């Protein structure tokens, strides 16, 4: 017998037929004798509808009331799934985040989980009950519902799995695992059997949409073995109930991956913009004077490149931001001009960031050179480069994104079994 937390996303619970299919997945694990808790998202499209209603009611609305409205989507799903499970003869009960309780900070709309006491759910396990929990929500210090931001149900599930010391956390979605790259761009992309926490964290933060970044961070900190699985697979197909290796991709400790490839995957993010400050006075504190105010304006700065003049008095500073934040960033920089003392600011949108990721890069030389040569052979110009121990990110012109992804996927042999 094992303790399993199962999470189902919006497309998996989009209507009653799909909720019945989800209930069959849950019943399979219950019938196998496992202790099961289930975390659900709102039905597909429901959160967007609720958000639109709050904005229609008032463009400038109270964040606490926003949370009260948008959290209702998960409440509906949890109740419907509990009813469906009960109809199948499964002892199930729905619970809201505040009933567990999932305690969060006070940042309504983007709250972070502070604590979950697993005793409540462990007591439910002892009673043979399947707890169906509304994801994406908890309760803040002000005793009001607080939501965790988009994709927050993934974070709810991993946090609950850590709190109850679950043997597994299964994230069911509309794909059957984590792939070497986006299969819509490269048909030869392969599903990975295993991927390390660190690699998944890089892929999630660099454009892969399979899991929310915060959920991967939590899984890594608490060492929660996490499977990405498809809810659209037949619940009763052979192997679906395999305790140790069910179908899908296991996200785990690096030590569990025996054969480590040099490169595990290629991620990409479109709609990046490049901003350059020309002829900035090179003096201590100038970088903090630029990037501090940008951070305070909640502008996510990514790749940073600095070129110092020959005499060491001036520098050019180039960095990237999401295209949607360009105007806001330029407004902040315009206010800083008298203090920072740059000559001119230039911006260009329509960039893409393509990243090569793999824990095997730690012990292999020449990985970056391989990427640069492959892109040069395809006449793809590199605008900027950043690296870490297990990642190389390259900024290129947007129209070359798909060609770059396919080229890098092939040059590292990811299209071969």
List residues forming the annotated binding site for ATP.
Answer: 7-10, 173-174, 179, 184, 209-210
Paired tokens of 144: 């009001």
CA atoms within 13 A on the CB side of 26: 34
Task: Return all residues near 114 (Cβ < 8 A) that are at least 6 apart.
Answer: 103, 104, 105
Convert 146-197 into a string of H (helix), E (strand) and C (coil): EECCCCHHHHHHHHHHHHCCCCEEEEEECCCCCECCCCCCCCCCCECCEEEH
Binding annotation for substrate: 47, 74
Contact 304, 317 (CB under 8 A): yes
Complete edge-to-edge strand list for the sheet that includes strand 344-357: 304-308, 314-322, 265-281, 344-357, 391-397, 384-388
In eight-state DSSP terms, residue 109 is T
Any residues with CB less than 8 A from the CB of 110 and at least 6 apart, and which?
147, 148, 149
Cα distances from 256 to residues 62, 251, 260, in angstroms, run 46, 10, 10
User: Residues comprising the binding site?
Assistant: 7-10, 47, 74, 173-174, 179, 184, 209-210
Structure-token pair, residue 134: 């509304």
Kindly state the tokens that stand for 55.
């904005």
Task: Decide if 44 contacts 73 (C-beta within 8 A).
Answer: no
Per-residue exposure over 291-330, b if at least 16 CB sit within 10 Å of its own CB, e if not = eebbeeeebebbbebeeeeeeeebbbbbbbbbbebbeebe
CB 9 within 8 A of CB 172: yes
Type and span of the H or E element at 319: strand 314-322
């Amino acid at each position: 017998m094992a303790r399993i937390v199962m999470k189902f996303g919006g497309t998996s619970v989009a209507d009653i037929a799909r909720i019945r299919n989800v209930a069959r997945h849950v019943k399979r694990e219950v019938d196998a004798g496992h202790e099961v808790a289930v975390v659900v998202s709102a039905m597909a499209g429901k959160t967007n509808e609720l958000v639109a209603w709050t904005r229609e009611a008032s463009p400038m609305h109270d964040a606490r009331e926003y949370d009260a409205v948008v959290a209702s989507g998960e409440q509906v799903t949890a109740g419907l799934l509990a009813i469906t499970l009960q109809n199948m003869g499964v002892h199930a009960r729905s619970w809201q985040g505040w009933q567990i309780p999932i305690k969060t900070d006070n940042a309504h709309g983007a709250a972070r989980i502070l604590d979950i006491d697993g005793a409540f759910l462990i007591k439910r396990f002892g009673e043979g009950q399947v707890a169906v929990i509304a994801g994406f929500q908890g309760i803040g210090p002000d005793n009001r519902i607080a939501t965790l931001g988009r994709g927050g149900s993934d974070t709810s599930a991993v946090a609950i799995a850590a709190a109850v010391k679950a043997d597994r956390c299964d994230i069911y979605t509309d794909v059957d695992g984590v792939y070497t790259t986006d299969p819509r761009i490269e048909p030869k992309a392969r599903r990975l059997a295993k991927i390390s926490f660190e690699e998944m964290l890089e892929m999630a933060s660099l454009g892969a949409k399979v899991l929310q970044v915060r959920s991967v961070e939590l899984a890594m900190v608490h060492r929660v073995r996490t499977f990405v699985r498809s809810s659209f697979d037949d619940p009763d197909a052979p192997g679906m109930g395999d305790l140790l290796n069910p179908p899908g991709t296991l996200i785990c400790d690096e030590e569990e991956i025996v054969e480590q490839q040099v490169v595990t995957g290629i991620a990409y993010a479109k709609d990046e913009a490049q901003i350059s400050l020309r002829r900035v006075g090179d003096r201590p504190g100038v970088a903090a004077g630029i990037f501090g105010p940008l951070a305070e304006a909640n502008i996510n700065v990514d790749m940073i490149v600095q070129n110092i003049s020959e005499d060491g008095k001036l520098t050019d500073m180039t960095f990237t931001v999401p295209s949607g934040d360009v105007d806001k960033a330029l407004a902040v920089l315009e206010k800083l001009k008298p203090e920072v003392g740059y000559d001119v600011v230039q911006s260009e949108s329509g960039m893409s960031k393509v990243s090569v990721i793999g824990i095997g890069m730690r012990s292999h030389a020449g990985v970056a050179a391989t990427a640069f040569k492959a892109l040069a052979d395809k006449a793809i110009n590199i605008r900027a480069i950043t690296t870490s121990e297990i990642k190389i990110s390259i900024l290129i012109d947007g129209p070359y994104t798909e060609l770059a992804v396919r080229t890098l996927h092939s040059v590292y042999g990811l299209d071969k079994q």
